[in-house]
Amino acid sequence: MNYFLTGGTGFIGRFLVEKLLARGGTIHVLVREQSQDKLQVLRERWGADESQVKAVIGDLTSPNLGIDAAVLESLKGDIDHFFHLAAVYDMGADEESQQIANIEGTRAAVQAAEAMGAKHFHHVSSIAAAGLFKGIFREDMFEEAEKLDHPYLRTKHESEKVVREECKVPFRVYRPGMVIGHSKTGEMDKVDGPYYFFKMIQKIRHALPQWVPTIGIEGGRLNIVPVDFVVDALDHIAHLEGEDGNCFHLVDSDPYKVGEILNIFSEAGHAPKMGMRIDSRMFGFIPPFIRQSLKNLPPVKRLTSAVLDDMGIPPSVMSFINYPTRFDARETERALKDSGIEVPRLPDYAPVIWDYWERNLDPDLFKDRTLKGTVEGRVCVVTGATSGIGLATAQKLADAGAILVIGARKLERLKEVAAELESRGASVHAYPCDFSDMEACDEFVKTVLDNHGHVDVLVNNAGRSIRRSLDLSFDRFHDFERTMQLNYFGSVRLIMGFAPKMLERRRGHVVNISSIGVLTNAPRFSAYVASKSALDAFSRCAAAEWSDRNVTFTTINMPLVKTPMIAPTKIYDSVPTLTPDEAAGMVADAIVYRPKRIATRLGIFAQVLHALAPKMGEIVMNTGYRMFPDSPAAAGSKSGEKPKVSTEQVAFAAIMRGIYW
């Protein structure tokens, strides 16, 4: 048999060509002049040569598909099956491109099929042709479609109408559901349909342990089918006798609700599942004009836009969350009877769909998410850069090509670090500063701005930690003053100094090294945690003011890190800690991705526990407080003897990894 395909190099088309080649046919594929190389690559994939898969030069947007008259004449009477698959399958595409490709392209395909005297015309439409019909849409229904406001729905309906009213070649219409990747390999060529929610699932996975239940939506039923089912069914039905004039729904007869689909893919992606799903219909008692008024409020619109943009979800997709249409497929089931072709259940193949997306389609794979791509040639300031987290961060920024500004109290050590970083080929500018001295902070800011003009990234790392229980602090009010002076006032002074230029340039990012203790309410660290909490609160307020001016903040609730700051507490030598390099990796992630907060899952869980069950959280922390004593130094002893650590303490610290005790 001889076949002609539009869209033969597209996603569904390339799988269909493979099926048709297995039948021993000669296949003519419409390609644009500049796309012949793409077809040659596909020939190699199919194991076919130019005599089996022939290129026909043309264009979907031209009459008769832009095929040369002589070529059309040579094909006349020789095409048994004409498959029209080419179209815009994209909910986010603009209306004009959909109009041209879907409607005018179909009209051109019908003209070409008639001109070459094709025996059968197979139009691959979509369930979108039904619009947002409420209820069951049968295969023999067409005019009953309703709510075709969205251009994708409207153009798919109108293109099918072209076939029904204008095609003189015996035709068959196929309406696939939402086509996703191959059920065996996961192969897919773009992000569409349910894939739009994968980034959201991935972000939730990074934020919460898999066992933590979440709250989500229920939604309507989305009809999802894998591409191999669609192609197998299309190939089989196209070659049956006596089916001309019929329409076939290539759908799942038992589709899942949106909430079920999200849970299936959450499980496949090892993310938390929604333990509670809210059905939006429960808000149906609210008059539509009130719901619409609320949606149009500026804060609601901005919040919705920001969330959808962060997740990579086109706003138009949200209108399909409560999809109202069910599709009857009795004609398809009749045609496929005894063929062995059936829709696989989504839970059975969701893992390969997720795996293929994460390895090949995740939008982050196509962005320069390297530290070098983010900071090269940009001015980055790191305080407390001569040891611990600050030094490790400075090293990463130096290697990434940043214009690195480092500050610390001790001039000699600062010079040593600057020389070491310069030996790595970095552009380093070292300025001594005691960041607990407000006048010194002002001088530091002035020097940096005079020499560099602006700051792109500020890492507030310089800090002071004090581990001492309140029972030993009644006469040590200066502990609270000293931590607040450096950890809070010093950091705020730098932010307020660099912010005017950031706001003027509409570009700037502040990374504050906070503590997991802010989330866990760590005992013995009241002075330290209070100062970090103050900085966290300031940053949240500032971020709210500057959200629309592209000056952003990231708070890192850093777990316990093995740095000189914790060295006096000898018991920490026996508990799990991060290395400075691991901590610097968190800072690098903050600079690259600019999240609002970076914290360990245990830290986030502790914050949730304190919010939902504060007494329980208090008891857990009190247990740790009683289990780990004050250090001799905190108690006023000069003994340098390392305290003995019990098995119970080690086990408790391992379970509560990263929490300060």
CA angle 27, 29, 35 (to 5 degrees): 140
Residue found under tokens 């890190």 = 561
Q: Please indicate whether residue 528 is annotated as part of the active site.
A: yes
Give CA–CA dist 162/149, Å, rounded: 18
- Strand spans (E) along 205-283: 214-217, 221-222, 224-226, 247-250, 256-257, 274-278
Catalytic residue among 323, 488, 528, 660: 528
| Helix ranges, 361-455 (H) | 371-375, 388-399, 411-422, 438-452
Q: What is the pLDDT of residue 606?
A: 72
pTM attached to this predicted model: 0.70
The total number of residues written for the chain in this structure: 661
Give CA–CA dist 587/125, Å, rounded: 49
Largest CA distance in the chain: 101
Q: What is the pLDDT of residue 303?
A: 61
- Please report, to the nearest 10 degrees, the dihedral formed by the alpha carbons of residues 94, 99, 101, 105 taken in order: 180
Helix or strand holding residue 619 (H, E): helix 614-627
Model confidence pLDDT, tens digit, residues 204-255: 898 888 888 888 888 889 999 999 999 999 999 999 999 999 999 999 999 9
Q: What is the pLDDT of residue 340?
A: 94
Q: What is the pLDDT of residue 634?
A: 63
Give CA–CA dist 574/645, Å, rounded: 7
Q: Which residues of the chain have pLDDT under 70?
A: 90-92, 280-286, 288-297, 299-308, 310-313, 315-316, 318, 562-577, 621, 624-661
Q: What is the pLDDT of residue 570?
A: 47
Q: What is the pLDDT of residue 294?
A: 64
